[in-house]
Amino acid sequence: MQRGRKIAYIINPISGKGSKDSLRNTIEKETQNLGIRYLIYPSVANGDYTFLHDIIEEEKITDVVVVGGDGTVSQVVYSLLYLPIKIGIIPAGSGNGLAFGAGISKSPSKALKTIFDNKTMRVDGFFVNQRFACMLCGLGFDARIAHDFANQQTRGLATYIRKVFKNFFKAKTYTFEIELKEKTFTVEAYFISIANTNQFGNHFTIAPLARLTDGLLDVVIITEQSKIGMVYNTMLQVVGLTKLKAPEKINQRKGSIYFQTDKIKIINKSNAPMHIDGDPVETEKEITISIKQKCFSLLVNKNESTE
């Protein structure tokens, strides 16, 4: 028995693909086998998990484990941000970028083993104006896909790929003004990704040097070019071939810009659509994005642990 631990599982029934009944049975069986006390709650549509505050105190909850995707993880983390609890993830979403970026397995049994091993790492989050994010914020093309994807009854990678192809032929550029501490510039771009982890999701890389603990945001901009060029330069990022030659500087090559910063302001002149951690959100004209260093404890594999 792991004495003193009590886990609250949050299960999102509509994340990813298929029913969560079998997954719930696995969670209950393996948790019971270790003699760990637990409670199970469904995810909530409004994303507000502050109702857990009293439960955590009264039930002496030590860990909150999200069974879902990046959007649900972000909502739970933000709602519990200043409470002394550990966050675990059993990846069950369509992209699972935060989990994969932290080395957490898609296999429920392996993800549960990570949780039961009870090793943690303090990781960064970031704010997009007043909205909290764990993993990725996007403006432009990928956000357009996120908005379309959210309206689909069938989730999963295959559906996402279909939406990519559907939107590719009508993709357009947007005008952005980028304000940094040392520089301001205007750019026409298909999309901007602001990443806290190297993942787009589904093990696709977007920012090769991004780390959950480095106190920095990795900013990738795919600039105005031919559609074929856009695909080519995006794929260079996705397969991890584009590197930062000088992390402290703006690295620009034909078709893309890549740099790191702890804060960025974006003037969204063309009203480009926006997503946060894969979930579509209402876009804004002025967007200030800033890192919040080591703001929560994430249950990770032993070799990733720093605590």
Q: Mind listing the pLDDT tens digit for each residue in 179-203?
A: 999 899 999 999 999 999 887 666 6
Tell me how long the chain is: 307
> Cβ–Cβ contacts within 10 Å for residue 138, how many?
26
Nearest-angstrom CA–CA distance, 294 and 302? 18
131-292 to CATH, choices 2.40.10.480, 2.60.40.4070, 1.10.510.10, 2.60.200.40: 2.60.200.40
Q: What is the pLDDT of residue 140?
A: 93
Give the CATH class of 6-125+295-304.
alpha beta
Residues of the chain within CATH 3.40.50.10330 domain(s) are: 6-125+295-304
Pinpoint the residues of the chain covered by CATH 2.60.200.40: 131-292
**pLDDT at 69 exceeding the cut of 80:** yes
Lowest-pLDDT range of 112-121, 190-199, 221-230 = 221-230
Supply the pLDDT for residue 21.
80
Residue 144 phi, psi (nearest 5):
-60, -40
Give the pLDDT score at 225.
84
pLDDT given at position 207: 82
The pLDDT of residue 285 is above 80? yes
- C-beta separation of 11 from 67 below 8 A: yes
User: Is residue 17 pLDDT above 80, yes or no?
Assistant: no
Torsion of CA 206, 264, 93, 161, to 10 degrees: -50
Instruction: Decide which of 131 and 94 is more confident.
Output: 131
Question: Which of the pair, 122 or 157, is modelled with greater confidence?
Answer: 122
- For residue 85, the model assigns a pLDDT of 97
* In 107-253, alpha helices (H): 108-117, 141-150, 157-168, 227-238
